[in-house]
A and B are shown apart, each in its own frame.
Chain A
Amino acid sequence: MLSRVAENLYWISRYVERVENVARLLDVGFHLELDASVPVRESTELSPIEGVLTILACREAFERDRGATERDREHVLRFLTFDRHNPHSILAMLWRARENARATQEMLGGESWSQVNKLYLYLCSAKAHRRFAASPPRFFDGIKRACVLFDGLVDGSLPREEVFHFLQIGRYLERVNQIGRILTERLGDWNETTVEDRPARAIHWASLLRGCSAYEAYCRAHHERVDPRGVVEFLVLSPDFPRSMRFCVTKCRESAREITDSDDDEVRSEADRLLGRLDSRLRYIEVDEILGVGIVPFLAEIQEECDLVGDAIHSTYFYA
């Protein structure tokens, strides 16, 4: 496979994954804000939708664009959805996914390419703006589904060869990244000694799980109430849940090993080595150890490791 094509594939799935996450976060945030019982932690507290600005690291850009005092929900939503000049908006990310897909459509397959293309064209259309105005949650749900459909087409139509594995690496590496960002934003100010308004906080944790499509799965796995300890355990360490960090790292590693044809224990590439190390760490660490270090420093370390994996993939395959 051409290096350029491999790189394009990797970015297509990263962007599609990111779009899906943004759409889900906005959807969940919108629902939460509609609830009258939204707990306000402090007066400076961010609303759930504004929190998405932090997750995507574009709060500053928004404030530059609209001014620091502007706190209109509609503006934030539009900034994150339709603003071409915001590189983290759904539209801008889909545009990049599409340009990458356009340059690899012969590898990606007609159906998968068409799915990205259709979604982008839809977002540019008047219809998308009408749907958004009519019901933001339904609009975001539609985008989320369109992204899932892309994943489904990839899963269902591509042979388990290089094309698939580069898409897979992109998707799961991005997912680890997103889970880390979401947890950091939502759990950043939490510690076990905080005296809490329990019922209100429970809504907060539940929305965090919903933001990762994890609420129902969590409830099945942990029958007791939703608490931060359980949430961290589930979203970071679960071996089976497809939106846990450990699961994603394992998937990444599988694909990285397929690309290098390593079916034994030998380490075949720098990316493989780094993923293997990260995989072991998430496999053997306990939730108490994580809370002992502090969730934020821990997540920052994982993030750093993931960045190194990304660099290794770039230098091994894309700039070879």
Chain B
Amino acid sequence: MFGDYDVVGFDEMFAAPGLVRPHYAALHERLSTLGVHELERRHRLADLMMRNQGITFTVYGREQGIERIIPFDPAPRLIPAHEWERIENGLKQRVRALNLFLNDVYHDRKILRDGVVPYDLVLGASAFRRECVGLRVPRDVYIHVSGIDLVRDEDGTYLVLEDNGRTPSGVSYVLKNRQVMKQVFPFLFGRYNVRSIDDYAANLLETLRHIAPEDVDDPTIAVLTPGVYNSAYYEHTYLARQMGVELVEGRDLFLDDGRIHMKTIRGPKRVDVLYRRIDDDFLDPLTFRSDSRLGVAGMTGAYRAGRLGLANAIGTGVADDKGVYPFTPDIIRYYLKEDPILGIVETFRPPVPSHMNHILRNLDKLVVKAVDGSGGYGMLIGPASTAAEREEFAAKIRAHPRGYIAQPTLSLSRHPTFIDGKLEGRHIDLRPFVLYGEEIKVLPGGLTRVALPRGSLVVNSSQGGGTKDTWVLRGSGNEIINNRKCDDRSRDATVSESA
């Protein structure tokens, strides 16, 4: 199974070739004894479960649209308790600081006046919403839901790669992956003491209730989706179902008497809080893009008047802007007077002349990202680029320095992944999800994305990425080596056979 497994860079399972990290020992043993055919069978079972439940995203282009499931890898990623504690504290610190930053840039702008972050960077960011300047949001919370992408460098240190504070998606895959894993590998869970993620929907609901208008006792909450053709539609339905709230589209809503209402079979019903999964631009055709048919005319007015809670708040994109990213450690120090617990990736900014020189001289070694790009688009990966591509990017960077950042090419940690009948190392990242309600809560684990093509560093699902279940252990994970001798191979097999 692990035959000629190659250990390159930081590997999550192996400290060195043949040397399994203690917390992975039980999983390693399990995978080794399971055998290729059995693992393949369970892999197929997992795929079938996903497909039958409609956990798909749609790739458009042809007549019907092609439905794909995001490839699911059956080898879970393990994070021992002490590692997770650090991540969790780091994420809480980070989200708290970014939230203070948003409140500041839409009101007093102290951080800009004190020269910690350049004015033009913030006010010129495409995600900055001048319509929200001076707008008080409920409880001063902006980023209710965030998904913060972490990677590990060659030493295994966790670094923040990107903050997603607009409408981050992927949490339904976290929850579904867990369900599938429990059915496909029921007994392995028993050996590892894995932290539960079942309360995510309840916590999300609590977070949303927290921002209801103050004069409403029993708020009506709804999830606002762009509709069935959105690639994350499955997630929207899943979350609405798990929270027991309505899933609405813009055409179900209208403004009346200063509040948002939904059209029901018994006439209009007031809506107090929207968990909106529509971008700022499309929320309200009267305030933002006038060609939007996804939003509700007049929504911003209700929001401004405090008669509607929105999660996330409008204009949060300025906090996860790639141009602001290099300043996030300073933002944390400025507001919290603490050192950042989680580092960021070293980042060069073309507007700084010395950085510009460095970038242009080292384009073949760097990753260049467009500040407004996302999802792996608009990127130059230096080591994999052609001279022509580098020329093109050099010209773009010179013409528009504010539009780009550059980072050294990270190797990203690798994890055994089931590819064509054996386990091979593939690069992974981690997107944990953070909820900011009355307090800040981090879902234990998160979405581990894996770049399936050999050597690829791009984990986005739109670019051939897959996912893994992520297990946060209650202990160090070292204590479970061989402490249960029972042969659960046969037990696992019987259970999934009858499932």
Contact = CB atoms under 8 A, between A and B. Distances in A.
23 contacts: A1-B264, A1-B265, A2-B248, A2-B252, A3-B263, A4-B249, A6-B265, A102-B233, A103-B227, A105-B241, A106-B237, A106-B238, A106-B240, A106-B241, A110-B241, A113-B53, A114-B53, A117-B53, A316-B265, A317-B265, A318-B265, A320-B264, A320-B265
Nearest to A3: B263
Contacts of B354: none
Interface string A240-280: 00000000000000000001000000000000000000000
B265 A259 contact: yes
Contacts of A117: 52-54
A58 B132 CA distance: 56
A162 interface: yes
A38 interface: no
Interface of A: 1-6, 99, 102-103, 105-106, 110, 113-114, 117-118, 121, 162, 259, 316-318, 320
* 10 pairs of A and B residues whose beta carbons are closest in the complex: A106-B241, A317-B265, A106-B240, A117-B54, A106-B237, A3-B263, A6-B265, A105-B237, A118-B52, A103-B228
Given A106-B240, A110-B241, A121 B52 contact: yes
Contacts of B241: 105-106, 110
A159 to B, nearest CB: 13
A102 B265 contact: no
Given A105-B241, A117-B54, 4 more contacts: A6-B265, A106-B247, A259-B265, A320-B265
B267 interface: yes
Contacts of A162: 265
A102 B53 CA distance: 10
Interface in B257-297: 262-267
B229 to A, nearest CB: 10
Given A4-B252, A121-B51, A320 B263 contact: yes
B104 interface: no
Among B227, B265, B267, the most chain A Cβ lie within 10 Å of the Cβ of B265
A114 B54 contact: yes
A15 B419 CA distance: 41
Nearest to B263: A3
A93 B285 CA distance: 35
Interface in B211-247: 227-228, 233, 237-238, 240-241, 246-247
A316 B267 CA distance: 10
A102 B252 CA distance: 16
Interface string B40-73: 0000000000011110000000000000000000
Interface residues of B, number: 23
Contacts of B251: 4
A89 B258 CA distance: 47
Given A2-B248, A106-B237, A114 B52 contact: yes
A3 B252 contact: yes
A103 B229 CA distance: 10
Nearest to A313: B265
A4 B227 CA distance: 12
Nearest to A7: B265
Contacts of B228: 99, 102-103
Contact of B265 (A3, A99, A103): A3
Nearest to A117: B54
A255 to B, nearest CB: 13
B54 A4 contact: no
A227 to B, nearest CB: 45
Contact of A110 (B53, B266, B267): B53
Contacts of B237: 102, 105-106
Nearest to A106: B241
A5 B240 CA distance: 13
Contacts of B240: 106
Contacts of B249: 4
A106 B223 CA distance: 11
A89 B228 CA distance: 23
A113 B51 CA distance: 12
Contacts of A110: 53, 241
A102 B248 contact: no
B46 to A, nearest CB: 15
A22 B471 CA distance: 48
Among A5, A105, A117, the most chain B Cβ lie within 10 Å of the Cβ of A105
Contacts of B263: 2-4, 320
A56 B360 CA distance: 69
A162 to B, nearest CB: 7
A283 to B, nearest CB: 28
A124 B265 CA distance: 35
A2 B53 contact: no
Contacts of A316: 265
Given A105-B237, A110-B241, A2 B52 contact: no
Contacts of B267: 320
Nearest to A109: B241
A105 B237 CA distance: 7
Nearest to B248: A2
Contacts of B227: 103
Given A106-B240, A118-B52, A2 B233 contact: no
A64 B340 CA distance: 71
Nearest to A122: B52
Contacts of B247: 106
Contacts of A3: 252, 263-265
Contacts of A106: 237-238, 240-241, 247
A102 to B, nearest CB: 5
A30 B64 CA distance: 31
Given A106-B241, A106-B247, A110-B241, A2 B264 contact: yes
A102 B246 CA distance: 14
Nearest to A319: B263
A292 B233 CA distance: 55
A4 B222 CA distance: 14
A283 B381 CA distance: 76
A320 B264 CA distance: 8
Nearest to B262: A2
A186 B72 CA distance: 52
B26 to A, nearest CB: 32
A258 to B, nearest CB: 12
Contact of A105 (B52, B54, B248): B54
Contacts of A113: 53-54
Nearest to A102: B228
A268 B248 CA distance: 28
B175 to A, nearest CB: 12
Contacts of A99: 228
A186 to B, nearest CB: 35
Contacts of B248: 2
Contacts of B54: 102, 105, 113-114, 117
